[in-house]
Structure 1
Amino acid sequence: MRNYLAIDAGGTSTRAVFLTGSGQCLGYGVSGGGNPVSRGFDDAMEALLQASSGALGGTPQPFSSVTIGMAGASLELATEPFRERFAGLGLSGNVVIESDLLATFYSGTCQDNGYALIAGTGAVAARISDSRLAAVADGTGWLLGDSGAGFWLGREVLRAVAAALDGRGKPTALLEPVLAELGISGGTQERTNGRIRAQQQLIAKIYALAPIELSRFAPMVFDAGDDAVARDITDRAAAALAGTLTAVLDGAVDGPLVFGGSVLTRGGSVAGAVVSRLSGTIQQGTRQQGASRQEGAQNLVVPILVADGMAGAAVLALKRAGVKVDEAVFERISASLAALRA
């Protein structure tokens, strides 16, 4: 029986799994960011090889193909440079680069038609038809879109704090965590040349960051308790994400709906709000990866929450090799991968 290597290559972390054609995962490895667009080819390649070596147990072993789930412009990369490097680990066939959207989708289901919504640092939605991307919305980056995702949330947190400091906005529980994170110790009442000193420091420190670094402030909105300002930010994020998903819907949801990314999976509050805004099309509520389809009123699907695209990359590796991935194979991938991760 042939073996395969599947990789979920993200901008900050990379995961790899070595599996059989029956869906049994044999080894698992992790490393740093493996996206060539954001990391550069050499650094990304090093991360891909490191994670893959871990999955192979540190020793080259024969495998028929490498399937890599990546985002955006990485899908246009030539595969030959990858194939040359993976040959040293035991690759005998081809390298296939797949969309991280498909990898996320197939982490929640083995069906070939449905929908995916990802909200991590960025935000993107897709309709999947016959195992291919039929429609994609957003995923346009922090400057043009990614509405409701990590950068967007972090920016809104900082805007709310800046407004609270000079009286343009409401007081918020977000203020102290932001000032502490940035090491701002100046008083919130003291002024220099008429401006609140803490706000002046906030301006200087935030504009010294790369824009994408604003996403580090996103988790604060989930830790702010029943703060009205934080609640308003999450409500607007849910509205934006619901709009992104609506843009790819083809009528009512008639297949699995998979949610991925920390904004949607952390606590489920944003995921639940997205579902609420789509009531009438999607039944309210969420279920975890591996749960059965919920029956009941109108027998409508509910979102499946997945942590990442690792299981989906493994599913794609088998599907693209012509292996039929049914429910039994899908469950074998999910269960054996979970065991390796544990």
Structure 2
Amino acid sequence: MAVVVGVDAGGTASKAVVLDQAGHELGRGRAGPGNPSATGAAAVRAIGSALRSALRAAGVPDPAAVTSGVVGVAGASALADPAIAAEFKAEWANLGLTTEPRIVGDAVTAFAAGGDWPAGAVLISGTGAVAALVDGLEVVRVADGLGWLLGDEGSGLWLGLRAVRLAARKWEAPLSRRVAAHAAAATPDALVRWAQALPPFGALAPVVCALAESGDPDATTIVTEAGARLVATLDELDSPGAPVVLGGGLLTADTPVRRAVLAQLAGRGTTVGTAADPALGAARLAARLVR
């Protein structure tokens, strides 16, 4: 039985999917974070663990039955490091896989998960934020994705950082009280000290979104600006008329940020898809390679 595999290796988890030649899903696997830029060789082992689980769940006794594999990796550029690349090659061989994997950026697999278009744009907002123009298995243009210090505008981390900045200046606001409670900060000075330790600001994104849903004006302002900044990032690709796939937790779930982005895109008549399952998108790309 010939099968193909796809992997979505992100900063939160590594997910793998096995499909048969007809495109039917046979099994799934999940493991820890798979971004080698963040966790190095541990990410490679997580990818291997997710694949092992998926092959086991699919009932594939012989890994040589895998005829094609696509691995979408957040931080794929880290695989250019000789040590990480060697780890990946060894892990793939240890799995018993004989086909050469195709490694692509996670933007490619997110785009494939959102529709069957050969080319178009993908806009991702999760912990970070990036837009990319995709053609087949290649990213041909990128906007943002610069990290929280220089960019990632409209991301979860950006939302959280905006909320902390507002709290430090507007201490009595309802949003500020929620931020202070999250930080266990009794005073603005305590909040400043907490922020200087560079905590995971993105953990505040759900707080901002929930308050925006309840009508809080400060939270609403932040999520509206997030939507505008994400669309501005998309516009940097200079691809008017291209289909757009939304990816990342803030744009695949029903959040106020997603709705802000959709409202702007609807006004342009843009065709929009949602990258609900990038691992499945990777597996579909692997099947396309076979065809």
CA separation of 1:100 and 1:20: change in aligned 2, threshold 3 A:
same
Q: CA deviation at 1:260?
A: 0.8
Contact 1:8 1:15 in 2 (8 A): yes
Give the residue type in structure 1 aligned to 2:275. Answer: V
CA separation of 1:272 and 1:249: change in aligned 2, threshold 3 A:
farther
Q: CA deviation at 1:243?
A: 0.4
Aligned partner of 2:95 in structure 1 is: 89
- Trace 1:321-340 onto structure 2 (pairs within 5 A): 321-323=289-291
Give the residue type in structure 1 aligned to 2:244. Answer: L
- Normalized per residue, the structure richer in helix is 2
Query: What is the distance in 1 between the residues matched to 2:106 and 2:11?
Result: 11
- Whether 2:272 is the aligned partner of 1:315: answer no
Aligned partner of 1:269 in structure 2 is: 256
Q: CA deviation at 1:87?
A: 2.1
- Whether 2:63 is the aligned partner of 1:61: answer yes
- The correspondence for 1:158, drawn from 161, 164, 169, is 164
Q: Specify the SS of the correspondent of 2:149.
A: helix
Listed one character per residue, the Cα deviations across residues 81-129 of structure 1 (whole Å, up to 9, x for unaligned) are 4232222222012122111001000001122122110011111112223
- Whether 2:228 is the aligned partner of 1:227: answer no
Aligned partner of 1:19 in structure 2 is: 19
Aligned partner of 1:179 in structure 2 is: 180
Listed one character per residue, the Cα deviations across residues 273-322 of structure 1 (whole Å, up to 9, x for unaligned) are 223334542x3xxxxxxxxxxxxxxxx52x22233411211122122x33
Q: Which runs of 5+ in 2 are unaligned?
A: none
Aligned partner of 1:120 in structure 2 is: 126
Give the residue type in structure 2 aligned to 1:231. Answer: T
- Trace 1:177-216 onto structure 2 (pairs within 5 A): 177-184=178-185, 186=186, 198-210=187-199, 213-216=200-203
Contact 2:120 2:133 in 1 (8 A): yes
Listed one character per residue, the Cα deviations across residues 200-233 of structure 1 (whole Å, up to 9, x for unaligned) are 21112221235xx111111111111111100110
Query: What is the distance in 1 between the residues matched to 2:267 and 2:164?
Result: 34
Aligned partner of 2:139 in structure 1 is: 133
Aligned partner of 1:238 in structure 2 is: 227
Listed one character per residue, the Cα deviations across residues 1-51 of structure 1 (whole Å, up to 9, x for unaligned) are 52222110011111011222221221101111011110011x112211211
Contact 1:66 1:91 in 2 (8 A): no
- The correspondence for 1:250, drawn from 211, 235, 239, is 239
Give the residue type in structure 2 aligned to 1:179. Answer: A
Query: What is the distance in 2 between the residues matched to 1:159 and 1:102?
Result: 34
Identical amino acids, percent of aligned pairs: 35
CA separation of 1:109 and 1:278: change in aligned 2, threshold 3 A:
closer
**Stretches of 4+ moved more than 4 A in 1?**
77-80
- The correspondence for 2:117, drawn from 111, 121, 127, is 111
Contact 2:9 2:72 in 1 (8 A): yes
Q: Specify the SS of the correspondent of 2:239.
A: coil
CA separation of 1:75 and 1:44: change in aligned 2, threshold 3 A:
closer
Contact 2:209 2:255 in 1 (8 A): no
Query: What is the distance in 1 between the residues matched to 2:136 and 2:18?
Result: 25
Contact 1:60 1:88 in 2 (8 A): no
Q: How many residues align?
A: 282
Q: Which runs of 5+ in 1 are unaligned?
A: 166-170, 187-197, 284-299, 324-342
Q: CA deviation at 1:54?
A: 0.9
Query: What is the distance in 2 between the residues matched to 1:19 and 1:315?
Result: 8
Query: What is the distance in 2 between the residues matched to 1:234 and 1:246?
Result: 18
Report the TM-score when normalising by structure 1: 0.76
Q: CA deviation at 1:234?
A: 0.7
Query: What is the distance in 2 between the residues matched to 1:67 and 1:139?
Result: 22
Larger Rg: 1
Aligned partner of 1:293 in structure 2 is: none
Query: What is the distance in 1 between the residues matched to 2:175 and 2:32?
Result: 30
Listed one character per residue, the Cα deviations across residues 146-184 of structure 1 (whole Å, up to 9, x for unaligned) are 11111111100111111112xxxxx43222322222223
Q: Specify the SS of the correspondent of 1:128.
A: strand
Computed over aligned residues only, the root mean square deviation of the Cα atoms, in angstroms, reads 2.1
Contact 2:69 2:283 in 1 (8 A): no
Give the residue type in structure 1 aligned to 2:151. Answer: G
Q: Specify the SS of the correspondent of 2:148.
A: helix
Query: Is the deviation greater in 76-85 or in 136-145?
Result: 76-85
Q: Specify the SS of the correspondent of 1:90.
A: coil
CA separation of 1:4 and 1:318: change in aligned 2, threshold 3 A:
same
CA separation of 1:28 and 1:36: change in aligned 2, threshold 3 A:
same
